[in-house]
């Protein structure tokens, strides 16, 4: 039999041929491949778990923030709402005088409210076509313009400038709404403070008289005035307007 002159590699030659290769290029055994796949799956699972944990932390944080916001909103509503609003028809005010079917004709002349209706200050009746803009005044205002504002749902609080001054005047200002109200001095009052609305009036003993709050709650922006919801600005600013 002829002998081949081509040498066959021995084991040492084969080992030398693989010694210079990187580990990744070496052929793995079945067991090694199985372990490598397992480790890859474990690593992927750990990454998935880490992502899930991050998502849970984010969700918990957002939920906590939302819960705090809800609690803050509830507290705000409770604090600002206070006692539930009463039905105006259920509010009884001692000493309040009312007038029904009061005339609301527009006139360009001076109106004798005390002679015609027994009102001082006026609480309804014929009035000027231009209403007095709501606000705080430090001078007396024209009856006919202020009465028109009452027709729109405003409350007119008048005071004796000799009896209500300084801190008392500030107390009176603080007791009033920020809109649909007129505050002004008035000459010839027989009470320190008088609150008037369309068809209603109460004479108060002073700036701390609790009936003022009841009167405002009952008559401020009332729905039964001749022109409910009509504007209380955009017309005439009387003399001495400060706010």
With tokens 């259920």, the residue in question is: 90
pLDDT at 48: 62
CB atoms within 10 A of CB 224: 10
As averages over each run of 10 residues, the pLDDT of the chain (243 residues) reads 47 45 62 64 60 68 61 51 76 97 95 96 98 98 98 98 98 97 97 98 98 97 96 98 97
139 contacts 238 by C-beta, under 8 angstroms:
yes
CB atoms within 10 A of CB 77: 9
31 to each of 22, 27, 35, 43, how far by Cα in Å?
A: 19, 11, 6, 18
Helix ranges (H only) for the chain are 11-19, 30-81, 113-117, 143-151, 166-174, 211-219
pLDDT at 204: 98
pLDDT at 41: 56
pLDDT at 56: 66
Sequence-distant (≥ 6) Cβ neighbours of residue 237 within 8 angstroms: 132, 133, 135
What does the chain come to in residues? 243
Burial of 47 (0-12, 13-18, 19+ CB in 10 A): exposed
Spatial separation of the C-alpha atoms in residues 186 and 180, rounded to whole Å:
18
Q: Indicate the pTM of the whole model.
A: 0.67
pLDDT at 68: 58
pLDDT at 83: 55
């Amino acid at each position: 039999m002829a002998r081949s002159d081509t040498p066959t590699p021995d084991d040492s030659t084969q080992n030398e041929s693989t010694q210079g290769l990187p580990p990744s290029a070496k052929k793995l055994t079945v067991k090694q491949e199985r372990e490598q796949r397992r480790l890859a799956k474990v690593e992927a699972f750990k990454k998935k778990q880490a992502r899930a944990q991050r998502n849970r932390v984010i969700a918990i944080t957002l939920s906590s923030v939302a819960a705090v916001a809800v609690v803050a909103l509830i507290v705000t509503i409770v604090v600002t709402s206070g006692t539930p609003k009463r039905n105006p028809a259920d509010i009884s005010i001692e000493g309040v005088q009312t007038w029904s079917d009061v005339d609301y004709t527009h006139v360009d002349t001076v109106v004798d409210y005390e002679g015609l209706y027994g009102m001082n200050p006026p609480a309804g009746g014929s009035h000027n076509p231009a209403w007095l803009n709501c606000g705080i005044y430090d001078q007396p205002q024209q009856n006919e313009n202020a009465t028109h504002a009452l027709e729109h749902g405003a409350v007119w609080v008048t005071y004796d400038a000799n009896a209500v001054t300084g801190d008392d005047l500030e107390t009176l200002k603080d007791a009033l709404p920020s809109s649909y109200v007129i505050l002004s001095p008035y000459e010839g009052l027989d009470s320190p403070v008088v609150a008037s609305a369309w068809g209603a009036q109460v004479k108060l003993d002073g700036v701390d008289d609790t009936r003022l709050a009841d009167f405002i709650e009952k008559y401020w922006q009332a729905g039964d005035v001749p022109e409910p919801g009509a504007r209380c600005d955009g017309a005439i600013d009387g003399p001495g307007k400060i706010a």
